[in-house]
């Protein structure tokens, strides 16, 4: 019997060529796995395409709900953004793919898994480290790091020669990765760090010049840290995210243009869109600010940065990342309440919040009538607070 490989398959040119290339180069049967965590395309068509490219079997799965619950929710609780901007959409998607590659490999009794990542990016790290963390016995093949093709044209020629179906539509000038948490747009003209991204590079957001003049308010309701309702309507988490992508996208919310430090050492210029992530991260952060104490909030910020780094570096299944998840989830039971977000001209701002667990007291805060704060207490407090520093500034 032939050995088997499970290939993470998108149906694009690279992974379509990879099916045939793996068969020839490694003399294996190829099982294709496609995870839908963004738009769900025509499953039948994709299956046909994989089989026509030479696969013996396909697993085509809508994994949005699992993605939202097990990957994005922990990321939301962690307030994870890489280097202060990018909410990590692609980085959350890869460990989910790694997990399913391993599961399918076990089911199929496959010896190999394979992916279509290049040798230059972070995605290869996330998939391979993920797979090895889960099952170090599986061998990993990365055709794009190995094969002889240097250009897209050479791949197209190979596809035509071997009757591998290729898209008739013109390929995008950018390299794109999309899921419900956002889209990453790279390459082409964007590689010039001085050039403003042209409007045609953006997919999920309206150009700011074309956003509605009138702001729109949305109310996000959280129960125990989970956004459960938008404007009073209860929705599953993945639906909430998709709905907010549409609404906030119309207001141009969630665009990022950053120079980022890749794990493999190079700096790259990346453009992202993440409308729902921007709204939800803002809303959750603001509600937590209201219901949690100072020490927790300040300390959490340090750990959020570490967490984002670990997710970005492909360490999703590592012990520290797991422990950090436990830290961030420990107090989510308090994060219940509503946040009012104003969408306007590319911004999502919190303009109101309320919670039954609020630590904010208007009575204590007020400068007007009814002040409950005892100003005299400040005197003694300040004496002690400043005591260690007396004379030290001389
Ligand atoms: N730079 C981002 C990251 O490392 C996005 C990667 C996008 N991947 C892609 N195949 N276009 O998470």
258 pocket-lining for ligand 1 (C-beta < 6 Å): no
Q: What is the predicted pLDDT for the residue at 313?
A: 98
How many residues make up the chain in this entry? 394
* For residues 343-362, average pLDDT: 98
* For residues 275-288, average pLDDT: 98
Helix axes 123-134, 89-108, angle to 10 degrees: 40
At residue 77 the predicted structure's pLDDT band, cuts being 50, 70 and 90, is very high
d(CA 243, CA 258): 26
User: What are the tokens at 277?
Assistant: 């992530």
d(CA 248, CA 275): 5
Classify residue 335 as exposed, middle or buried by CB count within 10 Å of its CB (0-12, 13-18, 19+).
buried
At residue 284 the predicted structure's pLDDT band, cuts being 50, 70 and 90, is very high
16 pocket-lining for ligand 1 (C-beta < 6 Å): no
**299 pLDDT more than 80:** yes
Its pTM stands at 0.96
Classify residue 129 as exposed, middle or buried by CB count within 10 Å of its CB (0-12, 13-18, 19+).
buried
* pLDDT > 90 in the chain, percent: 94
In angstroms, what is the span from residue 37 Cα to ligand 1's centroid?
Answer: 15
* For residues 274-299, average pLDDT: 98
Please say if 94 is a catalytic residue: yes
For 86-102, what is each residue's pLDDT tens digit? 999 999 999 999 999 99
Q: What is the predicted pLDDT for the residue at 167?
A: 77
In angstroms, what is the span from residue 122 Cα to ligand 1's centroid?
Answer: 7
For 33-65, what is each residue's pLDDT tens digit? 999 999 888 999 999 999 999 999 999 999 999
Q: Which of 35, 81, 127, 177 has most ligand 1 atoms within 8 Å of its beta carbon, as the pocket-test mutant?
A: 177
Lowest mean pLDDT among 12-21, 165-174, 216-225: 165-174
In angstroms, what is the span from residue 2 Cα to ligand 1's centroid?
Answer: 34
* pLDDT > 70 in the chain, percent: 99
* For residues 292-314, average pLDDT: 98
Please say if 175 is a catalytic residue: yes
d(CA 277, CA 265): 27
d(CA 95, CA 74): 13
183 pocket-lining for ligand 1 (C-beta < 6 Å): no
**169 pLDDT more than 70:** no
Please say if 14 is a catalytic residue: yes
Full set of structural domains in the chain with CATH? 3-161 (3.40.50.620), 175-292+331-354 (3.90.1260.10)
In angstroms, what is the span from residue 177 Cα to ligand 1's centroid?
Answer: 7
* For residues 3-22, average pLDDT: 96
**183 pLDDT more than 70:** yes
In angstroms, what is the span from residue 267 Cα to ligand 1's centroid?
Answer: 12
Q: What is the predicted pLDDT for the residue at 279?
A: 98
CA 117 to ligand 1: nearest atom: 10
Catalytically annotated residue among 70, 132, 135, 175? 175
Catalytically annotated residue among 34, 123, 126, 355? 123
Catalytically annotated residue among 10, 29, 53, 94? 94
For 198-251, what is each residue's pLDDT tens digit? 999 999 999 999 999 999 999 999 999 999 999 999 999 999 999 999 999 999
Q: Is 248 left (phi over 0), alpha (psi -120 to 50) or beta?
A: alpha
Please say if 268 is a catalytic residue: no
φ/ψ of residue 317, rounded to 5: -95, 15
133 pocket-lining for ligand 1 (C-beta < 6 Å): no
Q: What is the predicted pLDDT for the residue at 41?
A: 80
At residue 168 the predicted structure's pLDDT band, cuts being 50, 70 and 90, is low
SS3 string of the chain?
A: CCEEEEEECCCCHHHHHHHHHHHHHHCEEEEEEEEECCCCCCHHHHHHHHHHHCCCEEEEEECHHHHHHHHHHHHHHCCCCHHHCCCCHHHHHHHHHHHHHHHHHHHHCCCEEECCCCCCCCHHHHHHHHHHHHCCCCEEECHHHHCCCCCHHHHHHHHHHCCCCCCCCCCCCCEEEEECCEEEEECHHHHCCCCCCCHHHCCCCCCHHHCCCCCEEEEEEEECCEEEEECCEECCHHHHHHHHHHHHHHCCCCEEEEEEECCCCCEEEEEEECHHHHHHHHHHHHHHHHHCCHHHHHHHHHHHHHHHHHHHCCCCCCHHHHHHHHHHHCCHHHCCEEEEEEEECCEEEEEEEECCCCCCCHHHHCCCCCCCCCHHHHHHHHHHHHHHHCCCCC
């Amino acid at each position: 019997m032939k050995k088997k490989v499970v290939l993470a398959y998108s149906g694009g040119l690279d992974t379509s060529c990879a099916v045939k290339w793996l068969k020839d180069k490694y003399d294996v049967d190829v099982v294709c796995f496609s995870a839908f965590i963004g738009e769900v395309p025509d499953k039948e068509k994709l299956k046909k395409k994989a089989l026509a490219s030479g696969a013996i079997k396909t697993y085509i799965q809508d994994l949005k709900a699992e993605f939202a619950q097990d990957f994005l929710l922990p990321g939301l609780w962690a307030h994870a953004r890489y280097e202060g901007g990018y909410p990590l959409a692609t980085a959350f998607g890869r460990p989910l793919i790694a997990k399913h590659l391993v599961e399918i490999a076990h089911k199929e009794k496959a010896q190999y898994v394979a992916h279509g990542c290049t040798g230059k990016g972070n995605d290869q790290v996330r998939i391979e480290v993920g797979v090895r963390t889960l099952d170090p016995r599986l061998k990993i093949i990365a055709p794009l790091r190995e094969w002889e093709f240097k250009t897209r044209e050479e791949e197209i020629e190979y596809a035509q020669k071997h009757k591998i179906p290729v898209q008739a539509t013109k390929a995008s000038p950018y390299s794109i990765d999309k899921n419900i948490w956002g889209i990453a747009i790279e390459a082409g003209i964007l590689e010039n760090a001085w050039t403003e991204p042209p409007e045609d590079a953006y997919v999920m957001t309206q150009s700011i010049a074309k956003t509605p003049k009138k702001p729109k308010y949305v109310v996000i309701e959280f129960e125990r840290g989970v956004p459960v309702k938008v404007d009073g309507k209860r929705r599953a988490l993945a639906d909430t995210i998709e709905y907010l992508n549409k609404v906030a996208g119309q207001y141009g919310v969630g665009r990022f243009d950053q120079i980022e430090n890749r794990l493999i050492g190079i700096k790259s210029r990346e453009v992202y869109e993440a409308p729902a992530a921007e709204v939800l991260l803002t809303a959750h952060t603001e509600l937590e600010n209201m219901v949690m104490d100072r020490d927790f909030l300040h300390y959490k910020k340090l750990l959020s940065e570490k967490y984002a780094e670990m997710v970005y570096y492909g360490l999703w299944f590592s012990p520290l990342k797991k422990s950090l998840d436990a830290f961030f989830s420990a107090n989510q039971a308090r994060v219940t309440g509503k946040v009012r977000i104003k969408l306007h001209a590319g911004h999502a701002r919190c303009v109101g919040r309320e919670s039954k667990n609020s630590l904010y007291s208007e009575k204590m805060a007020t400068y007007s009538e009814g002040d409950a704060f005892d100003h005299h207490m400040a005197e003694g407090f300040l004496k002690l607070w400043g005591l260690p520093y007396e004379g030290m500034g001389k």
